[in-house]
A and B are shown apart, each in its own frame.
Chain A
Amino acid sequence: MTGRSVGRQALTVVLFLVAVLVIWEGVKLLGGDPWRFQDASGQEIVYQPPFEWEVAGDRALPHVWTIWNALAAPVQRQQTESLGAFLVGAALYTGREAVLGFIAGAVLGVILAALFVHSKLAERAFVPYVVASQTIPILALAPLIAFAFGNGVVGIVIVATYLTFFPVTIAALRGLSASDPRAMELMRACAASKWAIFWKLRFPSSLPYLFSALKIAATASIVGAIVGEGNPGGSQFGLGRSILNFNEQYGSGPEKLWAAILAASLLGIVFFLAVRLVEHVVLRGRPKADVG
């Protein structure tokens, strides 16, 4: 059941990607720049789309195969490493930071929620600040964090943590307080300690809520890592840096930026699916494993 459900999820992702490709090329077919092919004899064939839309031009929206071919080409002139290999390396680098930030954010979120659920005073005192923390744009905060913690992985992980802990705190707080009141009485009748109530009742019954938040947090942590890297002096490596570099070189090769964006979104999808897989394993044996 688990395998099939995750398989179905993967299939949905593939179908979605196919749909994106069809729409992408469909738009170019209707309003892009002229398409040039060579037939078998080397004769050039030109297809002129009926409309002329700026967004569908080769500069704004390169052909899918242009991006695909660029992946195999060298990342820069006079370099042997292909763009594809370079992006895989960059994605692994960014992914590592995102995972670290994700774990730190998840742990921080659960600890904060556990604190709040046991102390109304702490909840009243700190929850407004947790919420307020998310109103500060991360773009404004990232340079400050880099300034405080120096350039490098630590600052970037902190940015990823910052984006991750919020949804986890809110969902975990809700999940930890959502235990069946009769089950609480049952634990009380057994004279269970707060510790036992937390680990045997509150935490297990919060897991469906927690996993909903962790799936959001998985993608948020990648956004955080990319923003952290892209921050001035953030990092020499990773997808964030690549995106900024390819952005500067957009005029000479728009397909490189698109390839980097593609890599970033694939990384996000992989992370999301990984969390979902863990969710299925952890919540197996429950009547309603799927909460979204």
Chain B
Amino acid sequence: MSDREAPKPPTTTDGPTAAPRRTSDTVVFTGSIKDFLAQEAAGDAGPPTAGPMVELTGVRKVFETTGRNATTQVEALRDIDLSVASGEFISLIGPSGCGKSTLLRIVGDLTSVSGGTVTVRGKPARQARLDRDYGMVFQAPVLFDWRSVQKNVELPLEITGMSKDQRAARAREMLALVELQDFGGHHPWQLSGGMQQRAAIARALALDPALLLMDEPFGALDEMTRERMNLELLRIWDRTATTVIFVTHSIPEAVFLSNRVVVMSPRPGRITTIVPIDLPRQRDVETREMDRYFELVTEVREALRAGEGGPGGGQDRPGAGATGDAARRVAAEGIGG
């Protein structure tokens, strides 16, 4: 299915630390729109440097809730140090309340830090947001009901002031990338959950962001659709130059997608382990059947349990493997989406 598209994706079989892929030889997009986006990004410090895409140093986050009598402080994140290389796919995983979503929102400048520094492409997170370096995908697709799917994808382009023809062309291109080219005229509520989330991904990619932030994007989908979407996402990631930070609570998903899995523990949220995923870069349905894949799933699971401070940690679902098996068989037969 993924090789139905005409242009051959740029081969990116190198590891995450390969030279930045966000260069002019990325032939996925047509010239004029590329020019526009280059213009749009003219405020940036030229082409991306070889430095990290995201650099977090000593990040702290304390939430203050003012009650009737007193102000209670909840420490959501403590001493977060993390460096994400350009072109890398990173997953943040941890039990509920470990602050993984908060961390993602801090990178995206949707939440402020209480301490420490966040730089994205060498700039403060706020500047990166104003430069439109981000694409965001949430657990809910958050499509606008009153707009067609095509117009939803055009929304960020409208905000940047791109001309009507250019944004229509760009949106069609993005819809083709997520294989929704026949659904541009539909309204979001006429699509299935998986299709809505693909439209949300198309919208997030419309501005050709350097960094894609995904907060449990497939968490609301059924297992079959989720596995299919994982493959789709890897295909899209291969064809764009985007760095991805991906929040999930699914161990198999994190292992399957990532270059590195960042394991977090709750109260306060800390990074306990970072598990490098040394699976071959080209991943497909068979990856999920490799021995190494299962070893890595186990490794992440044990890291999670260690972080919980004992056995019986909340995220360990004994049945997950079996469910995955069944889902994989059905997905291979082409159902879903």
Identify the A interface with B (CB < 8 A): 180, 182-183, 185-193, 196, 200-201, 204-205, 207, 283, 285-287
Contacts and interface: CB of A to CB of B under 8 A. Distances in A.
Nearest to B158: A200
A191 B187 CA distance: 25
Interface of B: 108, 110, 129-132, 134-136, 138, 140, 142, 144-146, 148, 155-156, 158-160, 187, 189, 207, 213
11 contacts: A188-B110, A189-B134, A191-B129, A191-B132, A191-B159, A196-B159, A205-B144, A207-B146, A283-B146, A286-B145, A287-B189
A200 B152 CA distance: 11
Contacts of A201: 144
B39 to A, nearest CB: 15
Contact of B159 (A190, A204, A207, A287): A190
Contact of B142 (A183, A192, A204, A283): A183
Given A189-B108, A189-B134, A196-B159, A182 B129 contact: no
B267 to A, nearest CB: 25
A286 B146 contact: yes
B220 to A, nearest CB: 13
Q: Top 7 A-B pairs ranked by shortest CB distance?
A: A189-B136, A287-B189, A190-B156, A182-B142, A192-B159, A191-B130, A190-B159
A183 B203 CA distance: 13
A190 B130 CA distance: 8
Nearest to B155: A200
A185 B136 contact: yes
A200 B159 contact: yes
A186 B142 contact: yes
Given A196-B159, A200-B159, A285-B187, A186 B132 contact: no
Nearest to A197: B159
Contacts of A182: 138, 140, 142
Task: Tell me which of B136, B138, B144, B187 has the highest count of chain A C-beta atoms within 10 A of its own C-beta.
Answer: B144
A166 to B, nearest CB: 26
A204 B110 contact: no
Contacts of B108: 189
Contacts of B136: 185-186, 189
Contacts of B146: 204-205, 207, 283, 285-286
Contacts of B158: 196, 200
A180 B142 contact: yes
Contacts of B129: 188-189, 191
B256 to A, nearest CB: 26
B202 to A, nearest CB: 13
A283 B160 CA distance: 26
Contacts of B132: 190-191
Given A189-B136, A190-B207, A191-B132, 7 more contacts: A180-B142, A182-B138, A187-B159, A189-B108, A190-B159, A196-B158, A200-B158
B145 A287 contact: yes
Contacts of A190: 132, 155-156, 159-160, 207
Contacts of A286: 145-146, 187
Contacts of A180: 142
B144 A185 contact: no
Contacts of B131: 191
A271 to B, nearest CB: 25
B110 A189 contact: yes
A204 B160 CA distance: 19
B110 to A, nearest CB: 5
Nearest to A180: B142
A253 B145 CA distance: 55
A186 B207 CA distance: 13
Contacts of B138: 182, 185-186
A183 B23 CA distance: 31
Nearest to B143: A183
